[in-house]
Amino acid sequence: MKNWFNSGTPWIWLNAGAISIALVAVFGLLFLILIRGMSHFWPANVEAFYYQNAENSLTVIAEIIESETVPADTVRDIDIKEGNITRYLVKTGNRDLLGSDFRWLYDIDLVRYEQPDNVMVLERIEWGNFYGYLNSVYEYDTKVSNEGNLWSEFESRLKRSADIRQQILDLEQGEIGAINYQLERLRLKERRLIIDNELSDSALNKITEKRKALKVEYAGLLKQTQVLYRDINRDSIRATVMDGKVVSIPLEKIVKAWQPNKFTLIEKLNFYVSSLWSFIVENPREANTEGGIFPAIFGTVMMVILMAILVTPFGVIAAVYLREYARQGVVIRLIRIAVNNLAGVPSIVYGVFGLGFFVYFLGGNIDSLFYPEAQPAPTFGTPGLLWSSLTLALLTLPVVIVATEEGLSRIPVSLREGSLGLGATKVETLWLVVLPMASPAIMTGLILAVARAAGEVAPLMLVGVVKLAPDLPLDGNFPFLHLDRKFMHLGFHIYDVGFQSPNVEAARPLVYATSFLLVVVIVGLNLTAINLRNKLREKYRALDN
């Protein structure tokens, strides 16, 4: 034993243990996010718990979130102090009736629990999920369902109301939104003319006429939506909740309805995929705690693309200058170290710089020069997409410079000399030989930059993200790409929903799902970069020999 300790083997094992801890932590966290994020969309079976004691009886209809068996004396809110007790964390939904979505259940006085076939779950526009039994379907005040066609009647009418809702949404966000946008532009144009003292009668007439035409169109569209709003209010259902109360729910408030206990495995899988899909493509509801995250995905992608467009040329030029043109000496070495170390400067510092320099200084000046008509409302003098991309471009610039420089330095001198020896100028050598060969390195740098930018939140909180952006930064209104708009971002969405929302408990699964999505994107990007880099190294190793 003493020998064994003297040999140092246990200490080597201790070292091995450290790396095991790190690995368990990485994969444990990834697994945790995966499980918590992806299980949310699974249509879990709904249980009915029947309680009965001497005085009264109680039924609870809910999804089991987790259950555990613990010693009774560790549970504070029950009287029993001996033996073990099983408790269930359940989701009862019906927040409008019960006050909260979740509650703890204990197996005291529990007679039985089962999964009744006809339990129905509704995803509603407001108040979260509804759990109960469907009684009947009504058109205005007339009952239109009977025993046989209850569910099919409900489903077909639900589809109709969903269609109408989509039409309303299209009208309001599409055409009505476009008219509002044009009206606003007209107003700005008029103010601009007044400011420049160029408002002639003919110009004014033109504007007034245009405005009149737009208002007529607007009134027509408004009438259309009013008709649709009346139509969507036609149907409603009566449903029984767990304590026997019957409630009436208008169909316009229902997003989706299903009876999970009747589902076969295939149907469940089908449902799962469609829920996941709607999470990705839908807009958020209820202060971001429900619905989808499409605007956040869109905003993140837009921002990252813009950033990539900005960072690549600048990063490559700087690297080419440092490596190929600048005279190598103490100054360049210092600059190189400085650039390297900027990658280690906290991102929040870039955010502060972006806010002060880009938003307030540059943006403020742009506003007073080019957008006097919009004053005092800021156009570029407020956080927005352009400034976010610029800030992140600056933040990731060192990454691109370092990667490109590394790529340039790996290209064998013999190749350059060969090219120069054949009579090519320096720029031709650079453009035709060196840069193409360095392109994988540039790509690696760019991918790493994109991965970093996609996950960065702290600076964006200062220079452009918001919890809820009314419009996407890209739409059908001229000039289509709105660089001055604020946008939503996956990372900020996680922070906001997880920490700022009124109902964190109910929103948590969505935060996990969002996290999972972000992790997938970022890990994917990083793995690509790592692969690319490894291939690159192989390639040059072959060249070197």
Partner 1 sequence: MKNQILQQKYNQRALKDRMARYFVAVGGVSVIVAILLIFFYLLQVVIPMFESAEMSEEHSYRVTGEARVMHLGLEEQGTMGVRFMDNGNVVFFKSGSGEIVKDVNLNLSAKISSISFNLDRVILGLDNGYVKIVRYGFDLSYPNDIRTITPVLEFPLGEELILLDESKKALIQIDIQINEEGLGIVARTLDNRLVYARYQQEESFISEEVTIELESRSERSFEETISSIVLTPALDHLYAAIDGGVLRDYSLDEEGFNDNHTDYKIRKNITELKLLLGGTSLLIGLENGEVQQWMSVRHEHGRVFTFIRNFHETQYPVTEIAIEQQRKGFAVADEKGEITLYYATSQRTLTSINTAGKIITHLAWSARAQNLLAVDDQGKIYLYEVDNEYPEISWDVLWGKIWYEGYDESDYIWQSSASTNEFEPKFSLMPLTFGTVKAAFYAMLFAVPVAILGAMFTAQFMAPRMRQVVKPSIEIMEALPTVILGFLAGLWLAPYVETHLAGIFTLLLILPFGFILSAWIFSLLPNKSIIDGWEAALLIPVVLLLIWLSMMLSGPVENLFFNGDMRTYMSDEWGFNYDQRNALVVGLIMGFAVIPTIFSIAEDAIFSVPQHLIRGSLALGASRWQTMLSVVMPAASPAIFSAVMMGFGRAVGETMIVLMATGNTPLMDMSIFQGMRTLAANIAVEVPEAEVASTHYRILFLAAFILFMFTFVFNTFAEMIRHRLRKKYSGL
Q: At its nearest, how many Å lie between partner 1 and the CB of residue 246?
A: 37
Among 2, 18, 330, 545, binds partner 1 (CB under 8 A): 18
Q: At its nearest, how many Å lie between partner 1 and the CB of residue 371?
A: 18
The verdict on 518 binding partner 1 (CB under 8 A) reads yes
Site for partner 1 in 306-335 (CB under 8 A): 314-315, 317-318, 320-322, 324-326, 335
Site map for partner 1, 446-465, x if CB under 8 A?
A: -----xx-xxxxx--xx---
**Angle (nearest 5°) at CA 496 between 495 and 498:** 65
The verdict on 241 binding partner 1 (CB under 8 A) reads no
Q: At its nearest, how many Å lie between partner 1 and the CB of residue 490?
A: 9
User: What is the rounded distance in angstroms from the CA atom of residue 123 to the CA atom of residue 92?
Assistant: 13
Site for partner 1 in 373-402 (CB under 8 A): 394, 397-398, 401
Among 254, 442, 510, 511, binds partner 1 (CB under 8 A): 511
- Token pair listed for 404: 């490109």
The verdict on 26 binding partner 1 (CB under 8 A) reads yes
The verdict on 339 binding partner 1 (CB under 8 A) reads yes
Among 50, 294, 495, 540, binds partner 1 (CB under 8 A): 495
Site for partner 1 in 27-46 (CB under 8 A): 27, 29, 32-33
- Under DSSP, the state recorded for 117 is T
Among 267, 526, 528, 540, binds partner 1 (CB under 8 A): 526
- Interface segment toward partner 1; rule CB under 8 A; list 141-149, 230-238, 467-475, 504-512: 504-512
Q: At its nearest, how many Å lie between partner 1 and the CB of residue 92?
A: 21
Q: At its nearest, how many Å lie between partner 1 and the CB of residue 279?
A: 17
Residues 30 and 517 sit within 8 Å (Cβ to Cβ): no
Of residues 417, 397, 183, the one with CA closest to residue 311: 397
Of residues 512, 176, 53, 469, the one with CA closest to residue 302: 469
Helix (H) or strand (E) holding 429: helix 426-429
The verdict on 195 binding partner 1 (CB under 8 A) reads no
Q: Which residues are CB-neighbours of 190 under 8 A, at least 6 positions away? A: 199, 204, 207
Residues 340 and 398 sit within 8 Å (Cβ to Cβ): yes
User: What is the rounded distance in angstroms from the CA atom of residue 151 to the CA atom of residue 54?
Assistant: 37
User: What is the rounded distance in angstroms from the CA atom of residue 237 to the CA atom of residue 478?
Assistant: 44
Q: At its nearest, how many Å lie between partner 1 and the CB of residue 16?
A: 4
- Token pair listed for 3: 């020998």
The verdict on 436 binding partner 1 (CB under 8 A) reads no
Residues 92 and 129 sit within 8 Å (Cβ to Cβ): no
Site for partner 1 in 69-128 (CB under 8 A): 70-71, 73-74
Which CB sits closer to partner 1, 215 or 426?
426
Q: Which residues are CB-neighbours of 219 under 8 A, at least 6 positions away? A: none
Q: Mark residue 316 as left, alpha or beta (left: phi above 0; alpha: psi -120 to 50; beta: remaining).
A: alpha
The verdict on 522 binding partner 1 (CB under 8 A) reads yes
User: What is the rounded distance in angstroms from the CA atom of residue 31 to the CA atom of residue 8?
Assistant: 34
